[in-house]
Amino acid sequence: MIKIGQYNTLEVIKLVDFGVFLNGGDDFGNILLPKNTVPAGTKLGDKLKVFIYFDSEDEVIATTDEPLVEVGGFAKLRIVGATTIGAFADWGLRKDLLIPFSEQRRRLEEGEEVMVRVYTDRASGRIVGSTKFNRFLDLTPANYKVGEEVQVIIAETTDLGYKAVINGEHWGLFFKTEAFGKLFIGKQLKAYVQEIRPDGKINLSLQKVGLDKVDDLANKILTSLEIKGGFIPVSDKSSPDEIFTVFRTSKATFKKTIGGLYKKGLIVIEKDGIRLNDND
């Protein structure tokens, strides 16, 4: 079945001067892939991975161009224009994405970049965007476990930190204390479920939760020390940014880890760094 607004793999069934036709099945018939996006050497019977959407005439069309986001996804997009029906965003295709006024949390202006959720409007069947996320999220129970790895995209900033969309389905939050390093609107990354609160809301962390996190970091520190000749100029006195740049971890976790290594006699903590303990 053809999925509008997503990638499909379709067979080439006809070659014409202005492109090729792909087999869209009983629902869509022949779907045109215009000449300017047909891969060189394409022949009858080839199966091509294409993105299916509506052109400016609202006809179903294929492209090998890669959109910035598919239907059901979230992405940071640039507003390239506004008319009486809404704003238009560049999503990587020749036809810009409409964000109707009714789907704007505030009036969008040309030139700004905003987070957008792409969906298919049930009434018109068209692919459109929305900046009103709440009606798309938390529609199903969040059956996550503490420590579970998830995929997130940073969607908003708040006084508490950064709100993120988890696996495209639920809201989560990075508190400012957890948001070390560079988080920004539109960034996609992996994260870990830190806590599921009594109200069902989810707190996130950039690091694994619990002892596994410390053990992994300890191994990383020891390996780095061996590679660097036994000394690294980073210690518990270093700034959070310095520690994150070297080990991609928070200062609190770093201090806990080197403290454990020190107690085991594996390292020496000096004023300007840490050193492998070469005493037998």
In Å, what is the CA distance from 97 to each residue of 26, 30, 94, 270? Answer: 27, 24, 9, 56
pLDDT at 180 over 60: yes
Tell whether 143 is covered by a domain: no
Who has greater pLDDT, 240 or 30? 30
Q: Check which CATH number belongs to the domain holding 99 and give it.
A: 2.40.50.140
Q: In total, how many domains does the chain have?
A: 4
Same domain, 128 and 98: yes
| pLDDT, mean of residues 151-166 | 94
The last residue of one of the domains, among 63, 85, 106, is 63
The last residue of one of the domains, among 205, 224, 244, is 205
Tell whether 140 is covered by a domain: no
The one-letter amino acid at 34 = P
| pLDDT, mean of residues 102-115 | 97
Same domain, 272 and 219: yes
- Looking at residue 211, what is its pLDDT? 52
Q: Any idea which residue has 């806990």 for tokens? A: 256
Strand order from edge to edge, sheet including 231-232 = 231-232, 273-276, 267-270
Biggest alpha carbon–alpha carbon distance for the chain: 78
- Looking at residue 219, what is its pLDDT? 83
Q: Which domain holds residue 28?
A: 7-63
Who has greater pLDDT, 147 or 8? 8
pLDDT at 223 over 90: no
Same domain, 99 and 117: yes
Same domain, 215 and 201: no
pLDDT at 157 over 60: yes
Output 266-273 pairs: Cβ under 8 A, ≥24 positions apart: 266/222, 267/221, 267/222, 267/225, 269/235, 269/236, 270/235, 271/235, 271/237, 272/233, 272/235, 272/237, 273/231, 273/232, 273/233, 273/234, 273/235
Q: pTM of the predicted model, to two decimals? A: 0.74
pLDDT tens profile 120-138: 998 888 999 999 999 999 8
Of 110-119, 212-221, 231-240, 257-266, which range is least confident? 212-221
pLDDT at 30 over 70: yes
Tell whether 45 is covered by a domain: yes
Same domain, 234 and 188: no
Tell whether 142 is covered by a domain: no
Confidence band (pLDDT; 50, 70, 90) for 168?
A: very high
| pLDDT, mean of residues 67-87 | 96
Tell whether 176 is covered by a domain: yes
The last residue of one of the domains, among 159, 181, 205, is 205
Same domain, 221 and 244: yes
Tell whether 121 is covered by a domain: yes
Q: Check which CATH number belongs to the domain holding 232 and give it.
A: 1.10.10.10
Tell whether 141 is covered by a domain: no
CA 164 to chain centre: 9
pLDDT at 177 over 80: no
Who has greater pLDDT, 257 or 114? 114
Same domain, 194 and 215: no
Same domain, 264 and 242: yes
| pLDDT, mean of residues 169-178 | 87
Give the ranges where 209-250 is alpha helix by DSSP (H): 211-227, 240-247
- Looking at residue 155, what is its pLDDT? 97
Sign of CA dihedral 119, 123, 126, 132: negative
| pLDDT, mean of residues 212-233 | 83
pLDDT tens profile 46-69: 999 999 999 888 899 999 999 999
pLDDT at 213 over 70: no
pLDDT at 152 over 90: yes
Tell whether 225 is covered by a domain: yes
Percent pLDDT > 70 in the chain is 96
| pLDDT, mean of residues 210-232 | 80
Neighbours of 202 (CB within 10 A): 21
Same domain, 193 and 232: no
Same domain, 175 and 217: no
**What is the chain's mean pLDDT, rounded?**
91
- Looking at residue 49, what is its pLDDT? 98
